[in-house]
Structure formats: structure tokens, C-alpha cells
Amino acid sequence: MSKEILMPALSPTMTEGNLTKWLVKKGQKVKAGDVIAEIETDKATMEVEAVDEGYVSELLFKEGDINIPVSKPIAIISQNIEKNQIKDKGKSINKKNTTSNFDENSQNKDLSHKKENLEDKDNPITASSNTITMRQAIRDTIAEEMRKNKDIFIMGEEVAEYQGAYKVTQGLLEEFGHKRVIDTPISEQGFTGLAIGSAFKGLRPIVEFMTFNFSMQAIDQIINSAAKTLYMSGGQINCPIVFRGPNGAASQVAAQHSQDFSSWYSHCPGLKVLAPSTPYNAKGLLRSAIKDNNPVIFLENEILYGLKGQLSKDNDFLIPIGTANIEKEGKDTTIVTYSIMLQKSLEAVKILEREFDLNVEVIDLQSLRPIDQGTIIESIKKTNRMVIVEESWPFASIGSEIVNIIQKEAFDYMDSPIIKVNSADVPMPYSSSLEKLYLPQVDDIVKAVKAVNYIT
């Protein structure tokens, strides 16, 4: 009788882990509750405990092994040390295969596939040194700008000692100290208002919301104080501040922790709103945001934190706020998208090309306010058809505004009605099956592009 210890899922978005340390040796006796290993997740280093009593008959990975998929066996515990380990291992793997589809319906599935693809391409061992994750890109940019300007500080829940709830601020405390890397109580309205006051008085805060869901506690300060004071003071008092953190759905964290704020904040004059989709544009956009003298909302995405990508050789580059990126040129249809939906759109584009011979142009907005009207209009003048893909709810979304721009500026160029692909117009459900239905999927994008091309 033996049992395998699987790589556990230790956070909602964890798809793989790194084995940092074994705390047991082969042959050692363990009882339930004993810590057997340390695993580094996408968020933290966690301890793994044995669930049953027995002997460690096999350690299937060695210390330092990385990117071990969730649910893969990492060790085998036997009741009896003398048992045939190979036989046990074979048995248990077969058993595992019958239960390994727990993730089948998760909205992460498409993306984790995508992530794997990307990671294959950018294999950490073979890729050049400027291949980094989105998380690192954001972290590095904050650190680089903090080195240049002593008036920049970062504040938020768990940004300092904990090293960031999503490890984005890892190492910043060590480099910049408690004066500039500041842990706050769970007190969004208080510390947001405080940071805004400090910006009025000349500092340049970066406020991390653990997730943007919690920014609703502080939305009065963001809009009524940060966004409006320049105007209300007749131009005297500006507010150079960045509000950043993960936005949108993560994975099965349900209605209160999964929503997209792009349209909420983009509605408000006085704010600038950015939504990066790759490590490259995260870096260029965040640098622009930190240098900007206005309040900037920087909407990251938790699922994208592990996404790897190439940076340009010039590490100090800027992506100007208000510029979209033509991610892929095409002539048959334009997809306008932003943030995580860029990845899903690119997957759909491959299918559309392969199966329907459609050459689709993909515009990644990057900046939601101000929005790059010129790039969008020029594109539809070329393709005459448009699909807008976004994670937000459909009503009064960024896409709704784009439809308005198109009907006003390019009415005569449209060959078919624009289709918006959005999340369902309901609060986010918990169940993985419903969550998948709620979120836009690759298939939905494929169908929409076919529809604007009248392909049945």
C-alpha cells in the first residue's frame, strides 16, 4: 500500500511549482502533519505536509527542480519500506490519470496551455537573458524608477515584509527600506487618501491594491480627490500617483474578487487608465505611468503575472500613454482587445487563419484612457469589419465606446455590424463550469469573427 504526494495547488492561479527544499529523506518515517517539503508557488513559498503515516519510499524530484505541474506526483509514501517502489509508482500514476481532469473546466485551461506554449518558446534555459515574466517586468520597473527618484515610494497591503501578495514587490523592501516600501493596514480608503494627500504635497506614490476589487473601498478618494483636484484648483494642485494591482478574474475566486474595472475608471476625466498584456508593454507602460504627473490606474492581471516575454535591448524604453499596438497585421477583420483577452484573441486568430483562411488584424489597446482612436479607425478603414474582445461586463464597456467612435468616424467603412465579445452580464459564479461559461473563450471569438464575415 503506498500513496503518492502530488504537487499541490496552493493558490487559485497556481499551475506549477518549484521544489525548493526537501525536509525528509528517502526511507524516513513520517506521520500525518509532518512537513515534508517547501514549494515555491506563484505567490509564496509554502510548506507541504504529509497526509498519511508511512515511509518515504521515493522522492521523484530533486531540490531546485522548477515548473513542476500541479497534481504531478512529487514523492511516494509507503506503508512498508520494503515494498516494490516501481510497481507502486506505476499503479499510482494510473490511478492519478483517472482523476487528473480537475482542471478541465477551469477558465485557466486555455490560458495555461497558452502559457505552456509561450514558455516552450521562451524556455528559461535557452532563452536570452532579457526574457522575463510580467511579474518581474513590473517589479523591475518600479525598482528602476525608485532608484532614479527618491520621491517615489510604494505603499499597500503586504508590499514590504510579505514581499507582495503576488510577489510583485519582491525584494523592494530590502533595497529601499521601510521608509519607501510601506506596509499598510487593511484600510484602503485611509491609505489611498493618504497617498493622494502626499502626492498633492509633492511625493510620487505607487499604491498597490492587493486586487482592484478592494479599490472600491477607496473609489471616492480616487475619483473625487485624485482625479478632480487639478481641475477644481484651477490647475494648481496635481496628483502624480499610480494605482496598480491585479484586475479582473483570477480563478474561481467568485463574484466579489473577480471583476474588471477598466470601464469604471476609464469613465472619469482626470484619470489615465492602462491595461498591459505582455511583460514588454507592462514595462514600457508602467514607466510612463510612474513618470506621468497625473493619476494613472494601472490594471494588471493576476493570470498574466507568470507570462514570459522578451524585452527590448533598451531597458529604459517608454510606451507613450495613449498608443495602441498593432499586435498582428491583417486585412479581413479587426479584433480590438486589451489585457488578458489579447492572448485569447491571438489563439482565435490562429484557428481563423488555419480553418477559415481569414487574415485578422489584432489591436492591443494598451491604453484605455486616453484611447488611440486613430489606430482603431485606420484599421477598420482597411478591414471593414470589427470584433471587440474584453473581459468586462458588456454594458457600457470600453468596447461600447469603441462602437460609438466607429459609427461616428468610420460609418461608411463598415461592411457588417460590430460584435462585442464580453463576459456574461451577471456576477461571476464560483463553479469552474459556470466560470468558463461566464468568461469569453477562444471559441466565442472565433464565432464572432466568422459572424462579421457572414461565414456560417
Binding site for other proteins (CB under 8 A): 153, 179, 184-185, 187, 189-203, 220-221, 224-225, 229-238, 269-270, 272, 293-294
Which grid coordinates are listed for 26? 528517502
- Distance, in Å, from the CA atom of 307 to the CA atom of 278, rounded to the nearest integer, reads 7
**For other proteins, the closer CB: 170 or 373:** 373
What minimum distance in Å lies between the beta carbon of 321 and other proteins? Answer: 10
String of DSSP letters for 234-257: TTS-----EEEEE-S--SS-TGGG
What minimum distance in Å lies between the beta carbon of 268 and other proteins? Answer: 10
Which grid coordinates are listed for 388? 471587440
Instruction: DSSP letter for 392, please.
Output: S
Looking at residue 98, its amino acid is: T
- What are the φ and ψ backbone dihedral angles of 394, each rounded to 5 degrees? -75, -30
What minimum distance in Å lies between the beta carbon of 176 and other proteins? Answer: 13
Catalytic residue among 16, 145, 188, 391: 188
* 438, 393, 374, 339 alpha-carbon torsion, rounded to 10°: -50
Which grid coordinates are listed for 240? 502624480
Give the distance, in angstroms, between the CA of residue 242 and the centroid of all CA atoms in the same chain.
17
The answer to whether 208 is a known catalytic residue is no
**For other proteins, the closer CB: 220 or 415:** 220
**For other proteins, the closer CB: 131 or 266:** 266
Say if CB 128 and CB 310 are below 8 A apart: yes
- Distance, in Å, from the CA atom of 200 to the CA atom of 421, rounded to the nearest integer, reads 40
Catalytic residue among 4, 257, 300, 302: 257
What minimum distance in Å lies between the beta carbon of 401 and other proteins? Answer: 17
What minimum distance in Å lies between the beta carbon of 266 and other proteins? Answer: 14
**For other proteins, the closer CB: 190 or 394:** 190
The answer to whether 257 is a known catalytic residue is yes
**For other proteins, the closer CB: 73 or 240:** 240
Q: Which of 278, 235, 275, 34 shows the shortest CA–CA distance to 135?
A: 278
Q: Annotated active-site positions, please?
A: 188, 257
